[in-house]
Structure 1
Amino acid sequence: MKEAKRRPGRPSKQDQFQKELLLSHALIEFAKHGYEGASLRKIANLSNVDVALLSYHFGSKLGLWTSVVDHLTERITLQTVPFKNNYMHMKLETACIALVDNIVNFCFEFPFHMMFVTNELSHQSERSIYLMDKMLLPTFRHLMPFIKDCMEAGVIKKQEPTLYYLMLVNSVSLLGTIPNLVNEFKEDFTVNNDLKSEMKESVLANFFQIAAV
């Protein structure tokens, strides 16, 4: 039996498509090389799929880039929206620990996300506007009421809340991006879980007026 003809660029049914894996590889390539320097062919090769599959599912490089942002946003939303809705029913100290857990865990799950964001925000473009409107500003708005409540309660030292938020997120994200650098300074970090645990305690000690439990 002859194989049915298919449209140019359309993948065969035998092509395997693991979207999260492909988006993970795309995130790393966009982070390392920027939008212009990222290669769709390399992303496809890393994901063990034909490059035509990218065109079929995402339409273009911009479509793939947009899907990376949407995927990150979805993962952040899964963490921040339930937290935003539930923290009023928690002790502030417990909520702070939960927030730190979420931030650190996300940064280890997506260690290249900060490099990706920094590349895009280095100059204004349609992509940087999309990134701000889709992911960065909504996340900020979700968490800002909690941060202000913590400052009023003395759990966070009173200061300019926007700068506090940016310093908190960027400090954690930077270490999540370069864990090997920490290993160079502190040799007894042997596995990521050790570093994650130590980071959570350090963030609580430096950014909140509470101790880890």
Structure 2
Amino acid sequence: MTNCKLSTERGRGRPRKGKEHNGEALLEAALACFAQNGFEKTSLRTIAARAGVDVALLSYRFGSKLGLWTAVVDAMAEETLEQLQAWPHEQRDRTPEEQLRNLCSGMVTLVADRPLFAQLLISEIMTGADEERQALIQERMAQPVHELLLEYAARLRNLTSDEARERLDLALIATMSMIGVLVSTRPFLSRFSPIGENDEAFKAKLASLMHQLLTLN
């Protein structure tokens, strides 16, 4: 994985044509820099250089580095929640077992297709460097996603007792944590394990593990 460093190849503050207002490109550049360098070691100037825009544009659009970081988390949370909320409708003609397997595959794909975001979240959660950023992750991403997953999986497994739901709750936390860690460390794992070499096989194995944990009695 390459480091996100301040580029000196073009004139300072000179944007590429057509990139000045590409919000998606700005968020992608910010995500890469935050994930690879961490929040504290990333500057707006670094992100602006990677995105090919004037740093003043980032300040104008997002207000601050924290504002840009929050926008990255919000964008990923919105995408995840939209897909989660759509799944029950899309899967309504399938059996509960098929829906649960598809849920596992879908969640693995969401995480595996965004390894930098998984890296960002794990870094923030494990280091515990900033309470405000952790609170934002909990409020805008982790808690709403977890609650949706828990309700969906509990309904598919027809769980009604508090004890059964508590076991499922723990299983969800364990599986999503496991998936995030494996996805974000995949480049390292592929050095000594074949699990990281093939995209589809990697996702299939993770989905199978997730399904096994969610169906334990």
TM exceeds 0.5? Answer: yes
CA offsets 1:57-78 (integer angstroms, 9 cap, x no match): 2121111011011111111112
How far off its partner does 1:192 sit? 2.3
Task: Give the partner amino acid of 2:136.
Answer: Y
Q: CA 1:78 to 1:14, structure 2 compared with 1: closer, same or farther past 3 Å?
A: same
Structure 1 position 67 matched with structure 2 position 74: no
Q: 1:54 aligns with which of 55, 58, 78?
A: 58
Structure 1 position 173 matched with structure 2 position 159: no
The separation in 1 between residues aligned to 2:130 and 2:15, in whole angstroms, is: 39
Q: Which runs of 5+ in 2 are unaligned?
A: 1-12
Q: 2:32 aligns with which of 23, 28, 43?
A: 28
Q: Could you tell me which residue of structure 1 aligns to residue 6 of structure 2?
A: none
Structure 1 position 103 matched with structure 2 position 110: no
CA offsets 1:150-209 (integer angstroms, 9 cap, x no match): 4446xxxx5622211101111111111122233223348544234223433443345447
**Where do 1:62-211 residues align within 5 Å?**
62-85=66-89, 89-121=93-125, 122-123=128-129, 125-152=131-158, 158=164, 160-187=167-194, 190-208=197-215
After alignment, is 21-30 or 103-112 more displaced?
A: 21-30
How far off its partner does 1:11 sit? 8.8
The separation in 2 between residues aligned to 1:161 and 1:43, in whole angstroms, is: 40
How far off its partner does 1:88 sit? 5.6
Secondary structure of the equivalent of 2:123? helix
Q: Could you tell me which residue of structure 2 aligns to residue 6 of structure 1?
A: none
Secondary structure of the equivalent of 2:76? helix
Secondary structure of the equivalent of 1:49? coil
How far off its partner does 1:137 sit? 0.9
How far off its partner does 1:124 sit? 5.5
Q: Is the 8 A contact 2:187 2:196 kept in 1?
A: no
The separation in 2 between residues aligned to 1:196 and 1:120, in whole angstroms, is: 24
Alignment coverage as a number of residue pairs: 198
Structure number, greater radius of gyration: 1
The separation in 1 between residues aligned to 2:130 and 2:59, in whole angstroms, is: 26
Q: CA 1:80 to 1:181, structure 2 compared with 1: closer, same or farther past 3 Å?
A: same
The separation in 2 between residues aligned to 1:13 and 1:114, in whole angstroms, is: 29
How far off its partner does 1:84 sit? 4.4
How much is the aligned-residue C-alpha RMSD, in angstroms?
3.0
Structure 1 stretches (4+) deviating beyond 6 angstroms?
10-13
Secondary structure of the equivalent of 1:184? coil
After alignment, is 16-25 or 104-113 more displaced?
A: 16-25
Identity %: 26
Q: Which runs of 5+ in 1 are unaligned?
A: 1-9
Task: Give the partner amino acid of 2:142.
Answer: L
Task: Give the partner amino acid of 1:172.
Answer: I
